[in-house]
Structure 1
Amino acid sequence: MVIITAKRKGELMRKTSEKILRALLAVSVLATAVLSSGCLDDEEEISDSTASDNRQTSDGGNAESSEGSEGSDNKYDGSVTGSRASKLTFSGSDGISIARKQREAEKPMGEDGTQTVFVYMCGSDLESENGLASGDIEEMIAGSQSENVKFVIQTGGAGAWADTYGISAEKTQRYVVTGGEISLIEEKESVNMGKEDVLVDFLSWGIENYAAAKMGLIFWNHGGGSISGVCFDELNENDSLSLEEIDTALTSVYGKMTDKFAFIGFDACLMATVETANMLVPHADYMFASEETEPGYGWDYTEIAGFMESNPTADTAELGKTVADSFMASCEAIGAGGEATLSITDLSRIDELVKAVNDAAEEMNDISSDPALLANAVRSIYTVRAYGSNNDTEGYTNMVDLGSMIAATVSDDKADKVMSALEKAVVYNIYGEDKDGSTGLSTYYPFGVSGSTELATFGKVCVSPYYMTFVDRIAYGAQNGSTDGYSGEKTWLADGAVYWSDGDYSDYESNWEHYNNKTDNMGFCGDKSSVQIDVGPVLDDEGTFYFNVTDDTINNLASVNCSVYRVDEETGELIEFGVDQSTKVDFSSGLVEDNFSGQWYMIENNLIPMFIVEKNGNSSVYTSPIKLNGKETNLRIAMTQDGNAYDITALGTWDGVNENGESARSVVPLKEGDVIVPIFNTYDSEGNFAGKAEGDECTYSGDNMIEFVNLPAGDYRYSFVINDIYGNVCYTGFTVFTTDDDGNVFFTPEE
């Protein structure tokens, strides 16, 4: 850990009072032979990373500027044609080859010292509910005091805008911020900010009128990762820009530019993915983005503009470092630093990373033909750092740390090559203490898939044919209960298959149709389940509830949780308290036992629903569906166990992921006086979803009164929740358990 000097820490914490006030207010308030697209001597070294308390940083070591770099090992092919700027060709004997558009020479488009940042500002609810886009415009004005720095902004995608600058929700408007002032340049009828042609029009206009020696592009809004993309327009059913659409748009303006963008950044959640970085290689030198969700207030544009003003010739990586450090300082200022991440990626290093990932994924594909090895790999993936949410309550973002996943699944030599390539590509990586192990870039993994379209979308952007085959195998297993008979040799691994290019792959959605049939009903384990039960669930002589998995399906078992219910005396419906991890699993024998203590969670002396989100060592994160001041959301809760003692903390509320794949920005802390109403799922005796039931209302006192205590005396129901390695879930039959006034638990079989 690198020590922060007093001077450096002072720089990191410097904020304007207006910024902090706004932040605090905001807190309150995915083939055929041709696929449509991709599946697949330092000049200046970044200074040592900094770390303190809830800050952990990583420095990529050989940080090399891609601006004018002559030492790159990347091989480019200017003959790439079509709507996208990159092409990957697979050969079983020779691996992969990558071709990308490249100019014969890069030539700056403006006078020395001039800098333009194009901001594609899709306001959405971030603006209409909290005024956050307007707040960031204010920061740009405050920071850009000379005529050499310009922010060229297109606004749209929000139902309402703050009155500060006269921005209209009925119009799409274009502004220029420079010299400490903002000017409306033009406006037109409202358009869908989630459409690529709208992005093309803005960039074409901006490049024609405001080209500069250095140019950047920022996508401002919500992000959803490699599948749903960025910029969700709330005026147009939350339509968003996919990675393919962004690539197509940037390729459309490629011929109008004589130079790459110095950087393309995402002031949005979850966009620091290897798929995003790979797509951007022909278009920019660097990517600035976050693996995790971002707090609503996002980047500090006063600090960014100030750095640009003072350092017009600085390396873009140094600008990126300022973006990252000031972002972290903003998060720390309101106590959100532990959850924050931001990384700066040298895109000239991505080809080396893609090839290393493909080599590692070849090993993943090889071991996946062995059921036992596949099981071990998937179980390992479930333990590594993931981002956003991956549970039924909050929704699925399906993003996992790339380096951590590779390290957990392949041999050391393959993993080391990936980590080495990551360290070269990610030149600066900053993350909070709660995101320890983040390597700077994430990738897609199908923890839970909402439909075949999601997997089809990934096929367009996946960076490795072997990894695409691994994911496709999981989808095949989810539909068939086994991967027996699966082969990708005639599809994803066909000799000469081309990725990241124009074409059609619709015939290959058959493996994914299974995912169109997800329901809210409780799926009981049966003959078609991939995990079969040999004995049980039954009670042994000592009162332990257990079952045994059959020998031939043990390798399909990923994990087992438990679910607890109470019977509503009036309706007879089952009220679900949640899903917890109170089980013991022996993967060698297939024995699964309850480890239930008869305790559950309360806030302000009221029972609340709790669903496990993630577990890392002795620390776990849960989500609890609630109404907060009348609005449905989720309360995130952290629990750390030390022996028999528990430290439980309410992290705050998070709206999760909507049906469009749009991830809410970061967790908002509770405040004293907040009114909380727990929301419980209810089911009939057949396991069909019946509806929702509200618990008792309570007012948050500010004292963090969340406890893990004995359930009130009475009769309850307990079920094992079996998760298979393909992402399927099934519930065993119930047993009755009774608790008494002394906290004792007595299991009895249900008749």
Structure 2
Amino acid sequence: MAEPVRRKKNIEEGGNGVHVRGDGLGTGPVGSSDGYKGKGSGGGSNGGGPKRSGGISPLSIVVVLVILLLGGGGGLSSLFGDSPETTDTGSYTQTTTTGNVATTTDTTTQQTTDNAYSNTTQSSTASSSSQMGSLLGSLLGGGTGYYGSASSAWAEEPNTGVLNKEVIDGARAKRTVIKGDGSDVTTIMVYMCGTDLESRSAMATKDLQEMMAADLSDQINIIVYTGGCKNWQNNVISSSVNQIYKVEKGGLRVLNDNAGQKPMTDPDNLASFIKWTADKYPADRYDLIFWDHGGGSVSGYGYDEKNAQSGSMGLSGINRALKGGGVTFDFIGFDACLMATVETALMTASYGDYLIASEETEPGVGWYYTDWLNAYSANPSMDTLEIGKNIIDGFTKTCESTCRGQKTTLSLIDLAELEKTVPDELKGFAQSTSDLVSDKNYKTVANARAQTREFAASTKIDQVDLVHLAYNMGTDEGKELADAIKGCVKYNRTSQGMTNAYGLSMYFPYRKSSKVDSMVSTSEAIGMDESYSECIQKVASMQVAGQMAAGGTQTPAGSLFGELSGSSSSASGDALMQLFTTMLSGSYSGISGLDASNTQFFGKGLDPQDMADYVSANQFDENALMFVKNDEDGDVIQMSADQWDLVQDLEVNIFYDDGTRYVDLGLDNSYDIDADGNPVAPSDRTWLYIDDQIVSYYHIDTQGDSDNYAIMGRVPVMLNDQRADLILIFDSENEDGYVAGVTYDYVNGETDTVAKNLTELSEGDKLEYICDCYAYDKTYTDTYFLGDPVIVEGSMEDMHISNRSVGDGEILVSFKFTDIYGQEHWSQSLKY
């Protein structure tokens, strides 16, 4: 069996052990928005830790029924304030023109006991150790979650770094006609919602500096609409009203100093800006850049921190805005996270010739504007493919040099070709995938999804690379769709070790079925074929059915401590049929995030008896999650081949007894396997430290293979009194790991979109490490501080990661298994 990729432990002597301090960060009840419970250091919004519950929660009649039925860059200090390392290269002129961009308001809304173990191997677990080893090796070598969010290498030939200028026959002509003699005039519209990216980290200001640093041609108009930020980090842009500026060489010129206070996520506001700009600055070529947070196909674009209640601008809202703007664009770009989706592309195809966007979360530096604007200014008739290539090359080069270890993707999609080839191929793929589910091959679909490159995995937005998913499905229709997508992606680049990111992703449910109804509504609003909706409804129905059969996703706290629920694979189809009938009547208690308002998808297109029979025959048996003593290797989990075949994810969970409570130290992907491929409980009593402080650590995902890999994890912190996560990377060149950056966390549901990662910590920043804690009755108590505050000295490169002793207290060790339905199961726990 091939050696699985996992985090290497660089065990060092010493260690201060666990020291919990403070009165806790939040005391609200479970599931409330008060404090950090359910969204905090361990679980909830980030998805890195267990789903929490404050003790054994009283479940609804549905879960009771289950029990009864189943038995069991720099610049311009004068303009943007002090910046001693730079000089002012131009003047600033203020000229007010008339016109108000915002016209109407139509806001969109958005939407976590030890048991004695047996020394006797159960007969059902030892029948085929070599087969189990092979299955576990396959699990650990790839798949989403534990050992990677993708298989170990590219599924097919990578399409990175090669500009594809071929255009298929039958694709519509480009709407933008380039003169080609250098006389083209271009107007670039930048819709810049500064939000907390600017107020916390001056990200928008830095990108404006990059624009102003370019040697701009008189034939290039850059018009920027600003707003959505409580505190712009410069001495020009207003924090109280929206404004419009023209970027000029070395400065900004105000065009409208008061464009109102409408939410930046209001589609009518964007439409008005587009119309106003096209009227004031007519051009041969128009480009549109969205600047802010991005949430992909479900959440869309934007978080206005001044108007948070307005939510994001979903794809249907963007569609309305682009239609209302009345302009067709040479390219539409998203300097925002996660917007390179096939849903986005199909929607924007009506308004643009090309789409430039990222499949993954963007590093905080975002696009690098100076170089591509210089090149464009030197040749205003530059081919759009070359412009897109320059944008992508500049972005990935800058991220490589300043954002070590952070994931980077950016792609250029020909929307005219996509419009011609993808809809029919996507329809065929969706129909064939639906047929697999209907024909009782759900496991095939679930495994394909689990083995596919996933983006922003810790946020559970359920976006995966479409080419990789299509290949993994193993159908003719999948291959045809993959080939069509690769043909449309004209240029694509990723960071080193970022495999199976071919340029376009797609929403495909697995982690959070509560968004399915919303995605169905969106797909209908933007004109996608109904086969797509039918497919995701069937897949999500099977996921929820499997979760309900196992007792629901609201895990009783005792399960985290090895109190096995006894859920087994012996439930009859008839018993499950009764349960699903109850669910179809609208009772979904026990499934996190589901209620009568977002469960219209359940059972659509599926026969309830077929669902019940399938789940009954493919149900994970928690009774198998008992440790077996192996004299040579230690304590191992042994299961039958059939049971391993239902596992898609595996992590180790550690709790520490500090004498007053249990401290959750997180989930790791570092443990051994024995000669037969069985996972071995780690008994070395060490855990991860940053410098001299033990921390809670949560594995996110793994990329690459044993020769070239990158493992990403997060450490929950308070950064300058705001909730955040340190990003840790362990890769083939840095096995001991390093701190790659930090990202802010939205613990109170401020937005469903995803922020760019803050690139680095600054000297003088205050770091406080945090952890979830549980009482001895195994009920959640609060989130507390670990150790004393740390003041950052030097750079992130000076922060030292190691594994050291957790201290003298007892630890509880268990494994967390995730099955084909996305249901989480904790093994029996062991005391060391």
Deviation of the 1:509 alpha carbon: 3.2
Letter in 1 for 2:220: V
Q: Which residue of 2 aligns with 1:574?
A: 662
Change (3 A) 1:170 1:17: closer
Quote the Cα distance in structure 2 between the aligned partners of 1:604 and 1:386.
31
Q: Which residue of 1 aligns with 2:739?
A: 650
Q: Where in structure 1 are there 5+ consecutive unaligned residues?
A: 1-14, 26-55, 66-70, 77-101, 488-505, 514-526, 739-751
| 1:73 partnered with 2:170 | yes
Q: Which residue of 1 aligns with 2:280?
A: 209
Deviation of the 1:432 alpha carbon: 1.2
Change (3 A) 1:726 1:436: same
| 1:557 partnered with 2:647 | yes
Q: Select which of 419, 427, 430 maps to 1:358.
A: 427
Quote the Cα distance in structure 1 between the aligned partners of 2:495 and 2:677.
38
Q: Which residue of 1 aligns with 2:116?
A: none
Q: Which residue of 1 aligns with 2:539?
A: 474
2:228/2:304 contact within 8 Å kept: yes
Matched ranges for 1:567-606 at <5 A? 567-570=657-660, 573-581=661-669, 594=681, 597-606=684-693
Letter in 1 for 2:232: W
| 1:635 partnered with 2:726 | yes
Matched ranges for 1:9-408 at <5 A? 58-59=160-161, 62-64=164-166, 72-74=169-171, 112-143=183-214, 145-165=216-236, 167-178=237-248, 182-186=252-256, 187-237=258-308, 239-254=311-326, 257=327, 260-336=328-404, 339-351=407-419, 352-369=421-438, 373-388=441-456, 390-391=457-458, 395-408=459-472
Quote the Cα distance in structure 1 between the aligned partners of 2:714 and 2:249.
46
Deviation of the 1:246 alpha carbon: 0.5
Letter in 2 for 1:653: V
Q: Which residue of 2 aligns with 1:666?
A: 757
Change (3 A) 1:590 1:181: closer
Change (3 A) 1:227 1:585: farther
Quote the Cα distance in structure 2 between the aligned partners of 1:457 and 1:369.
23
Quote the Cα distance in structure 1 between the aligned partners of 2:162 and 2:426.
17
Quote the Cα distance in structure 2 between the aligned partners of 1:693 and 1:274.
42
SS in 1 for 2:165: coil
Q: Name the stretch that deviates more: 168-177 or 464-473.
A: 464-473
Quote the Cα distance in structure 2 between the aligned partners of 1:107 and 1:581.
52
2:513/2:540 contact within 8 Å kept: no
Deviation of the 1:162 alpha carbon: 3.5
1:474/1:726 contact within 8 Å kept: no
Q: Which whole-Å deviations, capped at 9, do the CAs of 1:291-321 have from their partners, x for residues lacking one?
A: 2222333223322332222111111111111
1:559/1:585 contact within 8 Å kept: no
Q: Name the stretch that deviates more: 576-585 or 341-350.
A: 576-585
Matched ranges for 1:529-540 at <5 A? 531-540=620-629
Q: Which whole-Å deviations, capped at 9, do the CAs of 1:378-434 have from their partners, x for residues lacking one?
A: 23433432222x23xxx33322222222222224x5444333322321111111104
Change (3 A) 1:269 1:582: same
2:741/2:757 contact within 8 Å kept: no
Deviation of the 1:595 alpha carbon: 5.6
Q: Percent identity?
A: 26
Change (3 A) 1:163 1:535: closer
Matched ranges for 1:362-511 at <5 A? 362-369=431-438, 373-388=441-456, 390-391=457-458, 395-411=459-475, 413-449=476-512, 451-452=514-515, 454-456=518-520, 459-460=523-524, 465-481=530-546, 509-511=599-601
SS in 2 for 1:509: coil
Letter in 1 for 2:437: S
Deviation of the 1:163 alpha carbon: 3.8
Change (3 A) 1:463 1:62: farther
Change (3 A) 1:282 1:455: closer
| 1:707 partnered with 2:778 | no
Q: Give the length in aligned residue pairs.
A: 610
Q: Name the stretch that deviates more: 135-144 or 282-291.
A: 135-144
Quote the Cα distance in structure 2 between the aligned partners of 1:370 and 1:598.
47
1:263/1:286 contact within 8 Å kept: yes
Letter in 2 for 1:364: T
SS in 1 for 2:821: coil
SS in 2 for 1:241: coil
1:636/1:651 contact within 8 Å kept: yes
Letter in 1 for 2:485: L
Q: Which whole-Å deviations, capped at 9, do the CAs of 1:534-577 have from their partners, x for residues lacking one?
A: 4452443648545566898766532232211012422xx32111
RMSD: 3.9
1:533/1:549 contact within 8 Å kept: no
Quote the Cα distance in structure 2 between the aligned partners of 1:168 and 1:507.
40
SS in 1 for 2:469: helix
Quote the Cα distance in structure 1 between the aligned partners of 2:443 and 2:678.
16
Deviation of the 1:122 alpha carbon: 0.7
Letter in 1 for 2:450: Y
| 1:692 partnered with 2:774 | no
Q: What TM-score do the two structures reach when normalised by structure 2?
A: 0.66
SS in 2 for 1:147: coil
2:267/2:313 contact within 8 Å kept: yes
Deviation of the 1:530 alpha carbon: 5.2
Quote the Cα distance in structure 1 between the aligned partners of 2:597 and 2:178.
43
Quote the Cα distance in structure 1 between the aligned partners of 2:431 and 2:290.
34
Q: Which residue of 1 aligns with 2:611?
A: none
Change (3 A) 1:347 1:535: closer
Q: Name the stretch that deviates more: 272-281 or 169-178.
A: 169-178
Q: Where in structure 2 are there 5+ consecutive unaligned residues?
A: 1-72, 84-157, 550-572, 578-595, 604-615
1:287/1:344 contact within 8 Å kept: yes
Deviation of the 1:190 alpha carbon: 0.7
Quote the Cα distance in structure 2 between the aligned partners of 1:692 and 1:158.
30
Deviation of the 1:655 alpha carbon: 2.0
Q: Which residue of 2 aligns with 1:615?
A: 702
Change (3 A) 1:16 1:602: closer
Q: Which residue of 1 aligns with 2:567?
A: none
1:263/1:288 contact within 8 Å kept: yes
SS in 1 for 2:787: coil
